[in-house]
Structure 1
């Protein structure tokens, strides 16, 4: 008779994750918490680092005092997730961020630059962000030089998906802003 073994993954809360960080357990590794699971963050290749840095600087200039652009910093979500999106465009809460990372209600939109992390960003993170009603999520597919825009979270999923290689994006939070796709993925082509 064959024995069946079941594997159960240990789930972590945000508080437990923070205690591990404070204790130095994760010091030598780049990690993020996604739905209670600690996931390693892929190393950034040169294109990833270049495009996310340039787009971050562009958005800082474009948005001015209307929002804060946080590059590669944690956000805290109520589904036991604390991801570190490449760019988080958030409300300007100043010193309040000394007490906590941005919560969903503080976030205008998120951007992930993806090459080796494309599957994770399109499948796992899309669900993580939609579940907590992040209003807008952009995935920049570096392989195809395209921006995939996910607006309108509904019932734990995004209602639509728009794939752009050219043209202009008007973020939901700032519909008066015209952001050329080239400023996000084909910077100084």
Structure 2
């Protein structure tokens, strides 16, 4: 008879307690994904530049209509609190001081991928779909394209469109604001 190995999964609440008690430090490059504490990849210069470019671009395009939250937690469910590269959120007067944003607060989550494309596609994007994030993008800096995921369901996003240089895109929440892929990629 073989014994099955069981994993101990942590809730977001337990994860926060680990931070409060010093088991995890505020600056640790980790996130909670499906109950597991996962180390995040180091941030290279192309990745960092991509995040900064999107931060500026979204601010220029949407101004006070949104709150742009770069590399901050979003509590997507009881066992997951990822830190997407960019979260485009509904504005709130308290800037989410009382609690991290949840799926209802999110217009768009963006992952900028240089070395993490497989992980983003196989783990992060399915997680966002399961938790009903309306729209998610992967900005693939190596292939110079943007993957746009829409129509979330428990089995994943039902729509995937790929955009390349010379094309433009509109967020579902802001269909009258066009963003070119060239603006996104720089």
TM-score by length of 1: 0.92
- 8 Å Cα contact 2:35-2:80 kept in structure 1: yes
1:133–1:156 Cα contact (<8 Å) kept: no
Q: For residue 38 of structure 2, give the secondary structure of its aligned residue in structure 1.
A: strand
Residue 180 (structure 2) aligns with: 180
For 1:58 and 1:93, locate their aligned partners in 2 and report how far apart those are by CA, in whole Å. Answer: 20
**How far off is 1:5 after superposition?**
4.8
CA distance in structure 2 between the partners assigned to 1:183 and 1:8 by the alignment = 46
CA contact (8 A) 1:79 1:132 kept: no
Counterpart in the other structure of 1:22 = 20
Runs of at least 4 residues off by over 3 Å: 3-6
Residue of structure 2 in register with 1:78 after alignment: 77
Contact 1:33 1:82 in 2 (8 A): yes
* Equivalent position of 2:118 in the other structure: 119
Instruction: Provide closer, same or farther for how the CA distance between residues 133 and 94 of structure 1 changes in structure 2, counting only shifts above 3 A.
Output: same
Give the Cα–Cα distance (whole angstroms) in 2 for the partners of residues 5 and 146 of structure 1. Answer: 45
Aligned-partner SS, 2:112: strand
Structure 2 unaligned regions, length at least 5? none
* Structure 1 counterpart SS, 2:139: strand
Pairs within 5 Å for 1:35-114: 35-95=34-94, 97-114=96-113
TM-score (norm 2): 0.94
Shift of 1:40: 0.5
Instruction: Write the deviation string for residues 116-143 of structure 1: whole angstroms up to 9, x where unpaired.
Output: 2111111111111001110000001122
1:10 corresponds in structure 2 to: 8
Give RMSD over aligned pairs: 1.4
Is the alpha carbon distance of 1:79 and 1:181 closer, same or farther for their aligned partners in structure 2, counting shifts above 3 Å? farther
How far apart, in 2, do the equivalents of 1:21 and 1:127 lie?
A: 26
